[in-house]
Amino acid sequence: MQSPPDWPPEPGALRPSPFPHPALHALHSLARMLLFPAYWTLDQLLGCWAPMAHPGGLRWLSAAARAGAALLLLLLLLLVGLPLALPGLPLWLLLQAWRRPFCYQPPPQCWEPPAPWRPPAEPTRCFSFLSANLCLLPDGLAHFSNLPHSQRRADAVSSVLLTGLRPSRYGATGCSPPPSGAPCGALIAAVPAGLDFVCLQEVFDLRAARRLVSCLAPNLGPVLYDVGTFGLQRGPHLKLLGGGLLLASRYPLLRAVFRSFPHARREDALASKGLLSAQAQLGILDGRRIVGFLHCTHLHAPSEDGPLRCKQLTLLLDWAEQFEAESRQSDDAVAFSVLLGDLNFDNCSLDHAQEQEHQLFSRFQDPCRLGTRREQPWALGTILSTSMLRHSVACSPEMLRRALGREEGRRRYLAGPPHGGRRAKPWQGRRLDYITYRGAPAAPLSPEVEQVTFSTALAGLTDHLAVGLRLRVSMPS
């Protein structure tokens, strides 16, 4: 007779270091230390070129003088940093051949996962997901999005996320009363309570990532971060930025894989975007594992590159199927498969017609979508107007929530159509951030949507709204 699975399970192949030997990890840390002075200086120099508002009169002269002095100092620091970078760069490039494309932060020893789900004694359990693009780029690049100070923003985001890691009013694993009719959406000013899985995009800055990890690992559970294949890749392509993905789970993670998209253009050429797939154990059913699959991604950004995004969508669907087939044991009960992230296309613009009709939407269910260029009446755009990010309303979660509840506020604070096209009436905005889901064919467990949320909790900290999904998984009666 087969013994029941352990709880919590061992993380298996997930080891904290992305390198197979401590010596390689130490050499990689040394290479990063040698590169950091030149990297930091170049980052600050890049920020000097970002557009900004100029004060008038004598204040402009004073600001120009300070900027000139800062520029001179940065150039001197660059001269100091370059000799250190010369041995550091080839060492860093060489070590990428042995690096696993993500870091794993296990929770502390005192961590306790939720009690395992054991149907049919507990016939239903709800799972809460959150996806958010944080625009945590290196400071120089972040200036171009009107969002500087990535380190400070990472600390502030951590404080906001902590409020969503508390148990919900239905308990840590409980559900609200069963929904009636179609799924409902809500615009809220806080992070949904009782989060189980958090997927973040554009966490490119490693120092910012570590601040988020230090918050999420002890308060939620295991974290995957510093995701991406760096260095010289096939093509050849030089990847200096990672994929920007971070995944945290309240449930034990069993396995994870990252695959990098083979093609990129323009501003995405230096980034290692791709698909991060993870398997979590959720409970035990008749001595078998109950598992869930998460697929986190961030697609190609330039709006006009629809055919390239379609290729990435096709790839990630194949990769998701492959990962699930490789990870699943023959008797596993699959509770859900969730694909989430910033897909960089909307469901309202004719410019994105090719992506809107992709087979993704026949393989995964999008609860916000009624059809091609038809959205649920409660669905909301998730990308904010860059020019309005510093406005007092856009920096206040409650004020922004109230503004987006009105047509006038949506037209003012949500980004308009790409290439300056006409806004539809009523204007719901451009929804670039998705959480889609599916069950497993002939599985004993069935997922359904309890609620979708659009959150302004990160107002002033990023140029996106956070999107939440609450799934109710149950055994069909």
- Alpha-carbon distance 38 to 45, whole Å? 10
- ω into residue 236 within 30 of 0, thus cis? yes
Residue with the two structure tokens 């791709």: 274
Give me the helices (H) in 283-406, please. Answer: 306-327, 353-356, 360-363, 397-404
- ω into residue 120 within 30 of 0, thus cis? yes
Residue type, 57: G
Residue with the two structure tokens 């009446």: 377
Which of these is catalytic: 295, 300, 358, 464? 464
Q: Which two tokens stand for residue 5?
A: 């699975």
Handedness of CA 348, 352, 357, 360 (dihedral sign): negative
Encode 364-398: b = buried (16+ Cβ within 10 Å), e = exposed: bebbbbeeebebbeebbbbbbbeebbebebbebbe
- Alpha-carbon distance 358 to 345, whole Å? 12
Contact 308, 265 (CB under 8 A): yes
Strands (E) in 266-373, as ranges, are 274-285, 288-298, 333-342, 369-371
Torsion region of 312: left, alpha or beta (phi above 0 gives left; psi -120 to 50 gives alpha): alpha
Decide the pairing of beta strands 369-371 and 333-342. unpaired
| Torsion, Cα of 162, 164, 167, 172 (10° steps) | -120
- Alpha-carbon distance 464 to 431, whole Å? 10
List phi, psi (to 5°) of 385: -70, 120
Handedness of CA 356, 362, 367, 369 (dihedral sign): positive
Q: Which two tokens stand for residue 368?
A: 């916000």
List phi, psi (to 5°) of 320: -65, -45
Q: Which two tokens stand for residue 151?
A: 């380190």
464 carries an active-site annotation: yes
Paired strand residues for 248: 198, 223
How many residues are recorded in the chain? 477
User: Which of 200, 278, 273, 203 lies closest to 233, judged by CA?
Assistant: 273
- ω into residue 113 within 30 of 0, thus cis? no
Tell me the catalytic residues: 464
